[in-house]
Structure 1
Amino acid sequence: MSLFDYRRAVRLQEALSRRVLEEAASFPGLDPSRVRLVAGVDAAYGGGVQAGCAVLVDYASSTQLAYTCHVREPPIPYVPGLLAFREAPVYIKALRKLPENPDIILVDGHGLTHPRALGIATHIGLVLGKPTIGVAKNPLYGEEKTVNGRRLITAHGVTAGEILEPVKGVKLYVSIGYLIRLEDAVTVVKHLMKPGLKLPLPLHLADKYSKNTARQGYIASKKK
């Protein structure tokens, strides 16, 4: 495991977030009829390995088309606020193994609702130049307020996220990642929510595959 420079990582986030916040007001609107492919990425751990999986879904029919996993040793320990440096590389590797490029990527984590406005969803969007949406199960940063019945999250002077409750008692924190407006991010997430699921379909599947892959790594480590 390589040495990790915490201060350098924070400085990088601060520099990149300034660019993203300047661009946020001009992120393009989304035409749902032009969205064909959506990917979801998630990671799990077991047996000393990190399993990052990407699932490709047809947006119109919510049909799984492909999935890939990339397994590696975690590059750094978990550091609060710097999850992207731990998990973005394995997500990008998995995404690049998919047979086609997605139009939008859903990421297990936050986007602009991050202390430095550069959560893992934003980080991945910047690296790949793709629209990304953060979908997290817990809050991280920002002020919640209710406007016309919507539970919005304001962060860094931007309406950056919205809290959804797809299943009673289950909250999802949807946030702008990169190159997408909040209203469009919420539309995409809602469209991909299916009965009985606590996550939008691509993330539900990525969560399942990553856990299964990590479990195999754990079993293999026990047999050594």
Structure 2
Amino acid sequence: MGYVLRSDASYFSAARAIKLQKLLAEKIICEGRIDKLNTVVGLDLAYIGNIGIAVAALLTYPDLRLKEYAVVVGEVNIPYVPGLLAFREAPLMFKAYEKLGTDADLVIVDGHGITHPRKLGIASHIGLVLDKPSIGAAKKILTGRIVEKDGREYLVVDGMVGALVLRPKGSKKAIFLSIGHKISIAELERIAPTLFRDDHYLPEPTYIADKISKQVRSRVAVHNKRKSR
């Protein structure tokens, strides 16, 4: 876990975080094929005030059925700074992942991978720390431009294809599936269609993690309301 800065606000420095990102970006591997893919983990985090609710949802592959999940609730002290999401959210996500009883062959994170100003979004950061193939699943563009080639759309950053632009079910909403770590764009193209179900536009692993995080958030909100009476 040495690639994650301490998660207390008194120690956090945006300048230090940016410097670390630039160093770690050089370690990211944008190649690789996943020969064994039996389990996929989706990581997401919801908030209630300054409380973060991190969820790691482990699904079997290729049937995309939930096998187990882990939840970690904790205070988030690092301020939100665009491009530095990993330093705010990754510590709780790591704790949730570590609570799982089964290791994952692939990690999908709610956020960007290399389609990031310093080529090190939260999905790349987490993949590097876990030493796992990782993919980012983001709903908005952080940087780059969309280009079309052979009937497909891609997100290109500094001349490099970093993500697929998908609109499952013909949805107007786009999801940006980016290289995180230890995966190539060709492998991402091969795997991407198998990560979705028909009733929503998010990849199933992060969809389930998001759904669970919101359910837990509702329970935490009710609990806090009762305590305040």
Give TM-score, length-normalised by structure 2: 0.90
Shift of 1:9: 0.3
Correspondence for 2:195: 192
Residue type of the partner of 1:170? Answer: K
Shift of 1:189: 2.9
- 1-side partners of 2:107 and 2:146: how far apart? 25
Shift of 1:52: 0.3
Kindly indicate whether residue 227 of structure 2 is the aligned counterpart of residue 219 of structure 1.
no
**Native 8 Å contact 2:179 2:185 kept in 1:** yes
**Native 8 Å contact 2:9 2:79 kept in 1:** no
Please, which runs of 5 or more residues in structure 2 have no aligned partner?
1-7
Shift of 1:74: 0.7
- 2-side partners of 1:215 and 1:174: how far apart? 28
Correspondence for 2:64: 62
Kindly indicate whether residue 37 of structure 2 is the aligned counterpart of residue 30 of structure 1.
no
Shift of 1:190: 1.7
Shift of 1:213: 1.3
- 2-side partners of 1:199 and 1:124: how far apart? 19
Correspondence for 1:11: 19
Q: How many correspondences in the alignment?
A: 218
Match of 2:53 among 47, 51, 54: 51
CA 1:100–1:150 in structure 2 vs 1: closer, same or farther (change >3 Å)? same
Output one character per residue of 1:160-203: Cα deviation in whole Å (capped at 9) or x when no partner: 11100013212100100000112222333320211111211111
Residue type of the partner of 2:15? Answer: R
- 2-side partners of 1:64 and 1:174: how far apart? 21
Residue type of the partner of 1:153? Answer: L
- 2-side partners of 1:79 and 1:47: how far apart? 16
Give TM-score, length-normalised by structure 1: 0.92
**Native 8 Å contact 1:84 1:120 kept in 2:** yes
**Sequence identity, in percent?**
39
**Native 8 Å contact 1:47 1:218 kept in 2:** no
Shift of 1:47: 4.7
**Native 8 Å contact 1:107 1:135 kept in 2:** yes
Kindly indicate whether residue 174 of structure 2 is the aligned counterpart of residue 166 of structure 1.
no
Kindly indicate whether residue 126 of structure 2 is the aligned counterpart of residue 118 of structure 1.
no
SS of match in other structure, 1:19: coil
Once the two structures are superposed, the pairs formed by residues 89-128 of structure 1 within 5 Å of their partners are 89-128=91-130
**Native 8 Å contact 1:174 1:186 kept in 2:** no
Q: Which runs of 4+ in 1 moved over 6 A?
A: none
Output one character per residue of 1:43-78: Cα deviation in whole Å (capped at 9) or x when no partner: 001153100001111112211100111110013121
- 2-side partners of 1:81 and 1:144: how far apart? 19
Residue type of the partner of 2:34? Answer: L
**Native 8 Å contact 1:49 1:217 kept in 2:** no
SS of match in other structure, 1:11: helix
